[in-house]
């Protein structure tokens, strides 16, 4: 498990790297997320005179991560997006009811496969990212 001490060690390493090569961290883009931690773990961290804040939700390659660490949260977001596409297609199919079935089938098949593939990729990304953190 990642600890606060280990995090500070990594941040100091990052800070020294930035100093060595004349780089600065973008404070607006640099945030931390604590997964299943305590309230005191979410306090802002001071680094080179600036505070690094915490976030409760993050999107990485389409995968939604929340601080509760549950895959159900990510799956919920993916299913909502999938449901929107299904509703759009249903409205299209209803509006164009005289269109041949084979054409409708050809349009629906790639969309469904694409959404399922994205859901699987998002789950794999989530697992990889969690392994990197731990």
Residue pLDDT, tens place only, 22-78: 888 888 888 888 877 777 777 778 877 777 888 888 887 777 788 887 777 777 777
The domain limits of the chain are: 4-55, 70-133
Q: How far apart are CA 94 and CA 104, in angstroms?
A: 11
Residue 101 tokens, joined: 């079935």
Q: How does DSSP assign 51-113, residue by residue?
A: EEEE-SEEEETTEEEETT--HHHHHHHHHHHHHHHHHHHHHHHHHTTTS-HHHHHHHHHHHHH
Buried b (16+ CB within 10 A) or exposed e, 51-77: ebeeeeeeeeeebbbbbeeeeeebbeb
Within 10 angstroms of residue 119's Cβ, the number of other Cβ atoms is 19
Quick: pLDDT tens for 29-44.
888 888 777 777 777 7
* Distance between CA atoms of residues 4 and 41, nearest Å: 7
Q: Quick check: 131 pLDDT over 80? A: no
């Amino acid at each position: 498990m990642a600890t606060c001490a280990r995090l500070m060690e990594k941040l100091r390493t990052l800070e020294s790297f930035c100093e060595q090569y004349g780089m600065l961290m973008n404070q607006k883009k640099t945030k931390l997320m604590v997964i299943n931690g305590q309230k005191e773990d979410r306090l802002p961290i001071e680094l080179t005179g600036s505070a690094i804040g915490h976030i409760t939700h993050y999107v990485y390659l389409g995968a939604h991560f929340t601080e509760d660490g549950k895959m159900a949260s990510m799956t919920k977001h993916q299913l909502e997006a999938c449901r929107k596409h299904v509703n759009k297609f249903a409205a299209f199919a209803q509006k164009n009811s005289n269109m041949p079935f084979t054409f409708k089938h050809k349009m629906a098949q790639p969309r469904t496969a694409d959404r399922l593939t994205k859901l699987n990729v998002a789950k794999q990304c989530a697992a990889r990212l969690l392994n990197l953190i731990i």
